[in-house]
Homo-oligomer: A and B are copies of this chain.
Amino acid sequence: MNAIVLLTDFGTSDAYVAQMKGVLLGEAPDNPVVDLSHNVEPQNVAQAGFLLASTLPHFPVGTVFCCVVDPGVGTDRRLVCAASQGRICLAPDNGLLSLVLERDANARTHDLTSFAKRRPDSSATFHGRDIFAPLAARLARGSSPESIGTRIDTSELVILEPACVSEKGDTITCRVLHVDRFGNAVLSLPDTPWSETLRGWNGIRLHDPEPGPAVRASSYTQIGRQTLDLVTTYAELSAGQAGILAGSQGYMEIAFNGASAAQALGLHPGDQVLLSPTSAFPAS
C-alpha cells in the first residue's frame, strides 16, 4: 500500500490536519498516512520545499507527498504534481516543488487543477481537506497523474529563485536553506561535489556578503571572518569551534558540537553567506 505523507503549515493545535486525515480514512482507508511536518512557518514555501526534497528519497517508491503550504488558496493558482524517483509530490504551483525539480532533471510534471473544478462542494479556504486529500488518496490508490490531469513541461511551473550557488574567483556564495532544532544551518551546497571541493582548500572562512541593503547588519557582525573546520561528525569539533560537514540531509551544514551554530553566528533561513579558502585572505 502506497503511503501518503503530509507536509503543511497547519500546526498541530488546530483541527486542520485531523480533518485531512478523516478524509483520507474515508477515501484511502488502507494507505498508511505519515506526518512529515506541520510546523512549516506559516506560508513559508521555501522551507516546505527543502523538507520535501530532503525527505523524498527516504520513503518507499510509490509514496505520495501531499504538500499544502498554500498562501494562494482561493486564487486561480494551479494544482500540480511532480513524479520524481518513483514518488509523487502534490502541491500548489507556488514554487514548493522547486528543489525537487532542481535535483531531478527527469522529473515529470502534471497540471491537476481540473480535479479541483470537479469538486464544486469544496470550501473556498481549505483545499487541503477538500481537494488535496481526496486527490492524494486517488493517487495513492494507483491512479496516474495522466488519468487525472494534463502533462505540462517542468519549465512551466513556478520556480523560486535558485539557491544562488555562485563562484567568483575563490569565493562561493550560497544560502541557508534550513536551521534545524539543534541549530545546525543547512547550506544550499549539495554534499556532492562540495564536500570534495572544500577538502581541497587549505582552510575555510565563512563571511557575510559585503554590507548592503540586503544584508542584515547584525548577521554581518556576528560572523565576521569565522574559520570553519571541515569535519565528518559533530563530535570532532572542540567546544566553541565552528565546523562544516556533509550533513544527513544531502547538503553541507555549519555546526557546533553541542551548541547552536545558527544562534552563535546569527544565521537564519534565507540568509546569504560566503565561503572562501583561508589563503584568499592576507594573514591577519
Contacts and interface: CB of A to CB of B under 8 A. Distances in A.
A38 to B, nearest CB: 8
A39 interface: yes
Q: How many copies does the complex hold?
A: 3
Nearest to A178: B14
Interface in A166-193: 178, 180-182
Given A125-B247, A233-B124, A35 B22 contact: no
Contact of A25 (B37, B59, B178): B59
A15 B55 contact: yes
Interface in A20-50: 21-23, 25-26, 29, 32, 34-40, 42-43
Contacts of A232: 74, 124
Contact of A235 (B51, B72, B129): B72
B181 A42 contact: yes
A37 B12 contact: yes
A75 B249 CA distance: 20
A11 interface: yes
Contacts of A21: 34
Contacts of A126: 247-248
A3 B54 CA distance: 26
A224 interface: no
Interface string A1-22: 1010100011111111011011
Interface of A: 1, 3, 5, 9-16, 18-19, 21-23, 25-26, 29, 32, 34-40, 42-43, 51, 54-55, 58-60, 63, 71-75, 123-126, 129-130, 178, 180-182, 232-236, 245-249, 258
18 contacts: A1-B29, A14-B178, A14-B181, A18-B34, A18-B58, A22-B63, A25-B63, A42-B181, A72-B235, A73-B233, A74-B235, A75-B235, A123-B246, A124-B233, A124-B245, A124-B248, A125-B247, A126-B248
